[in-house]
């Protein structure tokens, strides 16, 4: 984790398997999310996660979104399999990101709860 505002850091989430979780399968978050486009965001400034790569993962049976990317710039999601998520949520969703590129992989619309939360 970066120590102060202005630090840049790159992250990789690779070769993971996530099963049977109640909310998000794979996700990023930051407390440096305040900027003109999001004036009520967390923290006092904007500092994006850069170089984020989410690749070669398997996400099964999640109660919410499969993959959530927040406060990232140039994120890449590829070769990741998402199967079994909540119908009222998303397979891959991005908040406060510069770019999210779903490049490859299997994103299957096989909801965990077809009618939404129980």
pLDDT in tens, 6-47: 445 558 899 999 999 988 999 888 888 888 888 888 889 888
pLDDT band at 94 (very low <50, low <70, confident <90, very high): confident
At 96, the pLDDT band (50, 70, 90 cuts) reads: low
Residue 4 included in any domain: no
Predicted local confidence at residue 1, as pLDDT = 38
- Does residue 76 sit within a domain? yes
Average pLDDT, the chain: 75
Number of domains making up the chain: 1
Buried b (16+ CB within 10 A) or exposed e, 100-112: bebeebebeeebb
**Residue 30 resides in a domain:** yes
The range of the structural domain enclosing residue 19 comes to 10-102
Is 113 inside any structural domain?
no
Please report which helix (H) or strand (E) contains residue 77, including its range.
strand 75-78
Residue 81 has pLDDT above 90, yes or no: no
CA–CA separation, 32 and 26 (whole Å): 19
Domain-embedded: residue 112: no
Instruction: Report if residue 57 sits inside a domain.
Output: yes
CB atoms within 10 A of CB 27: 17
- Reported pTM: 0.74
27 within domain boundaries: yes
pLDDT beyond 50 at 4: no
- 59 part of a folded domain: yes
């Amino acid at each position: 984790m970066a120590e102060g505002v202005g630090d840049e850091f790159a992250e990789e989430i690779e070769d993971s398997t996530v099963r049977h979780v109640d909310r998000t399968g794979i996700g990023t978050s930051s407390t440096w999310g305040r900027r003109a486009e999001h004036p009520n965001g967390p923290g006092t400034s904007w500092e994006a996660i850069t170089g984020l790569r989410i690749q070669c993962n398997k996400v099964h049976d999640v109660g919410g979104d499969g993959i959530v990317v927040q406060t990232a710039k140039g994120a890449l999601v590829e070769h990741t399999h998402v199967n079994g998520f909540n119908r009222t949520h998303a397979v891959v969703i991005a908040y406060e990101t510069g770019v999210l590129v779903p490049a490859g992989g299997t994103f299957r619309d096989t909801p965990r709860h077809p009618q939404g939360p129980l």
